[in-house]
Chain A
Amino acid sequence: MRELRDDFPILRDRSLHYLDTAATSQHPECVLDAVRNYYETANANPHRGVYELAQRATDASDEARAAAARFLGCDDRELVFTRNATESINLVAYTWGRVNVAAGDEIAVYVAEHHSNMVPWQRLALEKGAAVRYMYPDEHGRLTEAELRRVINEKTRLVALAQVSNVLGLLAPVEKAIELAHQVGAVVMLDCAQSAPHMPLNLHELGCDFAALSGHKLYAPMGIGLLYGRFELLDAMPPFLSGGDMISSVHEYGAAWADVPRKFEAGTVDVGGQVGLRAAIEYMEKLGWEAITKHEAHLMELCLEGMAAIPGITVYGDADPRERYGVISFNVEDVHPHDVASILDADGVCIRAGHHCAQPLMDRLGIGRCCRASFGVYNTEEDVRSFLGSLKNVRSFMGYGS
């Protein structure tokens, strides 16, 4: 693949080695231009005006939804615009969850979930007198079929699972999870926040019930996200937020809801963000999945290989680059992750340090915190070399023999 750095204005600064795409991605110029162009040529309150300009805003919103549906392999009406993956998951917990989970029921949650696919289920369970039951990774950081079978049972109402963990970077056996969940009449809430940027998705083929993702990890602006829900499910669910735009009619003593998906989009939505999301999707489609996956797999392999050669580094989860997407979490012996991140920062290398919003997983790994390097389409071999070069010096810099 051609080098993409120059497509991204922020990365034209060659001293910057941005390896924190899993937290949020950078944006290509075409996305920034699309947002600007929308506000310069098409901005009005969508769905609320009869004049021509308002129609342009409505069209921009509809076209963005259509682009996302094509990208994810589902129907337009099955996609709800939200602010981010967190809001998407909460929407399901507050609406589907409120009417479908009762005392004695169980919610199966992978312990490696991001807090956003865990805490809403804890709260729902508490409210309803249901139980959260955790699934655990094996010693290689993998979720096995046996573990799925151990936890998913007749009482399970929902299975919460990230397709790719934001810490371990490993692909979960989602097809198996969906099959087992459906066998017992449960639904699956798939968190695609970390998978959607790195692999093609086809939600209909996959057969999941709900899926959540965030635009800002996908080269789109912050503040725009998506919830996918199977039409029958969305159609049967009560609304989430209520007010303008989500109704078909309102009387003094009641209201009727708009059709799916607008039933779930109360108030004026972020059309600028939607337009940016569409531009980001089209940018990725133009690059093509084959080129993206090949490039990212190459960087992953290069990086893991280089890390294995540095003494005192522990990588979490199976270090096989073939089933790892986007992220490498690790620790440097004796050195706190925040010190590692500060030391790398001095060389312009941006990595994340902390608990990565996955504290129960950190507890399981017995570490509390770790460092994480993550990739996007714009990263280069030079970024990986700078990271490795900087990482090599961390221990001696802090006064430890290597």
Chain B
Amino acid sequence: MSLDLIIEAKDVAKWYGAFQVLKDINLTVRKGERIVVCGPSGSGKSTLIRCFNRLEAHQQGEITVNGITLHDKMRNVAEVRKYVGMVFQHFNLFPHMTVLMNCMVGPMWIKGVSAAEAKKTALRFLERVRIPEQANKYPAQLSGGQQQRVAIARSLCMEPAVMLFDEPTSALDPEMVSEVLDTMTSLARDGMTMVCVTHEMGFARAVADRVIFMNAGQIVEEGTPQAFFTNPQNERTKLFISQILKH
């Protein structure tokens, strides 16, 4: 395995009971690559990226993340989660902690960093997502866009090798979408390895190295944004793109 492979999925399959959510998934993510995953609702996008930090367990095939193979007998799931940051659709900030604490607890409780050190890191990344002035507020006092940027900062504080985004802008009011996308774009410019489930096609065009289209648990098309949007091969992809671009 080459050293700069961050995520490697081979023939991955997963079932919920009798229902197959993921089928023959083959995917590699190299260091610094930005990947956008799209596809109709229920096609298994969330399930796929949740397998990458083992919030979900796959049943067949092999997933290797940052050199660690994920399987049922692994003793330390937390080890892989250190290297994988995740941003959720609904932010999932800890509402009983200030923004600053939200960003500090990861390094403090996982890496055993001192509070002073963790605070410095937290402020640095809050600066990075451009909301250092909100540090002492509680999440509920922030707008959706600000909360999502805090969630990004919280993940960054762990200095992950790859960031997973699960529809980070789809719970936001339209005018807040761009501030989050701007943050993500600037992350991408700085070379962060990213896997984003999103339907923001402008974002995909601007930053993605590859776009992956999923349908019914399978990757049905994969290519550069250019090829994906202008010359889709698969019938399902064509339909999807035409629907997305209709409005």
A binds B: no
Chain B residues close to A by CB (< 8 Å): none
